[in-house]
């Protein structure tokens, strides 16, 4: 049994079963027009099976990939399991988080904001203050450190909002590795500042012109690259999705967010917060934030998806709220698909949430009832961004603004004795042009 299975996966599943597991909707959904992969032993399914198998979160997860990738995924799993047990690896990773990233990130009492809103007190976990401006660096340092340990000379990555691309390019520059970042053409246009940052850091940015030209298509191209260059290439996956072992590995590298939050809350408040709120696209910032609190059932865990322009297909990216289970990018999880099983186009004002899938552990948290998932539309997210700017002098990323918007709603329903902590997953410098265009259109409409 691998270390990943025995320490990470199995513990997570057993914890969730203890807090109460709902009946899974998988039995009635599954893959459209296909046998449910959880029940079938597909030759393309690495480590299929039930909760006791590695890479499973209840029925979700697994690795449904081309045969070419099976050995390389096993290589990554083995290398990560060995690294987890190696004190030298952990020591170097922790050192980098402290001395290079600037951790621990602040646990900030947004007093003026809380006073203006009324109701619950709002605290911010300031991941926007990390080196490179977001939570992504926690994961890329861990994965690129692993790539170096494995002797890989070339690192590839996908990116939507550009923050994972910047963080990967940063880690590769630090370790002297080659870096190629795939980015949808639409995201290149709306996140041009981050494209320039990646290139300054020495990365090659490849614009993807297929499909919707966004994050989904960037992942597709990165996977194609990896299949063709398995010997010398490491795929630094940007979120807690994709085939095993990526959901577990990314979550573990990001769990520093939740561990710090718990310690900081106990010190500042003398108790745990009443609710944690985080945005969810693929879900890495949220799962890292939530995971250390899973056993603390008095703490509500709330993920906020992109409601876009409404609930009609193609106008949102609310995978958990409006999707159903299926296979996307190598994992069985919730996704947005049409009646023929084709992946639906998505929309969000925030490039980082504009994705039709979600990490499998979030799907299990939804099914188990341990976490709640809601959605916030473009307009409400932009208004939340403006409110935080003007009340606290903090410009959040549009992704984080979705979490803020829901926290504002929730605060009004709670008393002044209750505490909400929002994971401010990134800063909004990258979104200034998008915000400027959005606000100009809104002013014209008004």
Task: Show the domains of the chain with their CATH numbers.
Answer: 1-446 (3.40.50.1100)
Q: What is the pLDDT along the chain (446 residues), one digit of tens a residue?
A: 333 332 232 233 223 322 333 333 322 333 443 434 333 333 333 333 334 567 999 999 999 999 999 999 999 999 999 999 999 999 999 999 999 999 999 999 999 999 999 999 999 999 999 999 999 999 999 999 999 999 999 999 999 989 999 999 999 999 999 999 999 999 999 889 999 999 999 999 999 999 989 999 999 999 999 999 999 999 999 999 999 999 999 999 999 999 999 999 999 999 999 999 999 999 999 999 999 999 999 999 999 999 999 999 999 999 999 999 999 999 999 999 998 999 999 999 999 999 999 999 999 999 999 999 999 999 999 999 999 999 999 999 999 999 999 999 999 999 999 999 999 999 999 999 999 999 998 878 76
Q: Give pLDDT, residue 52.
A: 53
* Four-residue CA torsion sign, 142, 143, 145, 149: positive
Q: Give pLDDT, residue 444.
A: 81
Three-state secondary structure readout of the chain: CCHHHHHHHHHHHHHHHHHCCCCCHHHCCCCCCCCCCCCCCCCCEECCCCCCCCCEECCEECEECCCCHHHHHHHHHHHHHHHHHCHHHHHHHHHHHHHHHCCCCCEEECHHHHHHHCCCEEEEEEHHHCCCCECHHHHHHHHHHHHHHCCCCEEEEEECCCHHHHHHHHHHHHHCCEEEEEEEHHHHHHCHHHHHHHHHCCCEEEEECCCCCCHHHHHHHHHHHHHHCCCCEEECCCCCCCCCCHHHHHHHHHCHHHHHHHHHHHHHHCCCCCEEEEECCCCHHHHHHHHHHCCCCCCEEEEEEEEECCCCCCCCECHHHHCEEEEECCEEEEECECCCCCECCCCCCCHHHCCCECCHHHHHHHHHCCEEEEEEEHHHHHHHHHHHHHHHCCCECHHHHHHHHHHHHHHHHCCCCCEEEEEECEECHHHHHHHHHHHHHHHHHC
Instruction: Tell me the C-alpha to C-alpha distance, in Å, between residue 139 and each of 101, 254, 288, 417.
Output: 11, 6, 10, 34
Q: Is 97 left (phi over 0), alpha (psi -120 to 50) or beta?
A: alpha
Q: Give pLDDT, residue 16.
A: 30
Q: Give pLDDT, residue 213.
A: 92
Q: Give pLDDT, residue 443.
A: 77
Q: Give pLDDT, residue 446.
A: 67
**Cα 396 to Cα 304: distance, rounded to the nearest angstrom:** 15
Q: Give pLDDT, residue 364.
A: 98
Q: Which residues are catalytic?
A: 136, 158, 425
Cβ–Cβ under 8 Å, residues 94 and 75: no
């Amino acid at each position: 049994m691998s270390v990943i299975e025995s320490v990470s996966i199995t513990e997570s599943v057993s914890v969730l079963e203890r807090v109460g597991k709902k009946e899974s909707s998988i039995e009635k959904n599954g893959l459209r027009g296909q046998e449910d992969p959880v029940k079938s032993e597909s030759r393309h399914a690495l480590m299929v099976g039930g909760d006791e198998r590695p890479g499973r979160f209840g029925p979700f997860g697994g690795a449904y990939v081309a045969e070419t990738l099976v050995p390389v995924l096993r290589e990554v799993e083995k290398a990560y399991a060995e690294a987890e047990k190696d004190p030298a690896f952990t020591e170097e990773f922790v050192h980098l988080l402290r001395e290079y990233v600037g951790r621990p990130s602040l646990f900030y009492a947004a007093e003026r904001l809380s006073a203006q809103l009324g109701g619950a007190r709002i605290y911010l976990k300031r991941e926007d203050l990390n080196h490179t401006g977001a939570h992504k660096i926690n994961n890329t340092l861990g994965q690129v450190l692993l790539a170096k340990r494995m002797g890989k000379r070339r690192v590839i990555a996908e990116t939507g909002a550009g923050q994972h691309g910047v963080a990967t390019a940063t880690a590769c520059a630090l370790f002297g590795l080659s870096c190629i970042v795939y980015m949808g053409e639409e995201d290149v246009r709306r996140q041009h500042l981050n494209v320039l940052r990646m290139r300054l850091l020495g990365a090659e940015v490849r614009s993807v012109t297929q499909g919707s030209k966004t994050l989904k298509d960037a992942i597709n191209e990165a996977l194609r690259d990896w299949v063709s260059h398995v010997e010398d290439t490491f795929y630094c996956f940007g979120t807690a999705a994709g085939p095993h072992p990526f959901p577990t590995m990314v979550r573990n590298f990001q769990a520093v967010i939740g561990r710090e939050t718990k310690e900081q809350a106990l010190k500042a408040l003398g108790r745990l917060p009443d609710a944690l709120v985080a945005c969810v696209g693929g879900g890495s910032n949220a799962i890292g934030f939530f995971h250390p609190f899973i056993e603390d059932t008095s703490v509500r865990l709330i993920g906020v998806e992109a409601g876009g322009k409404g609930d009609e297909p193609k106008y949102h990216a609310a995978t958990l709220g409006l999707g159903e289970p299926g296979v996307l990018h190598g994992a069985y999880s919730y996704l947005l698909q049409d009646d023929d099983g084709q992946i639906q186009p998505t929309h969000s004002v925030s490039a980082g949430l504009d994705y039709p899938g979600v990490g499998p552990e979030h799907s299990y948290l939804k099914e188990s009832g341990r976490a709640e998932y809601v959605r916030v539309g473009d307009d409400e997210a932009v208004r939340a961004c403006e409110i935080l700017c003007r009340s606290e002098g903090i410009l959040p990323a549009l992704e984080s603004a979705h979490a803020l918007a829901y926290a504002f709603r929730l605060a009004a329903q709670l008393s002044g004795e209750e505490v909400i902590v929002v994971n401010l997953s990134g800063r909004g410098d990258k979104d200034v042009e998008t915000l400027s265009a959005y606000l100009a259109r809104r002013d014209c409409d008004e």
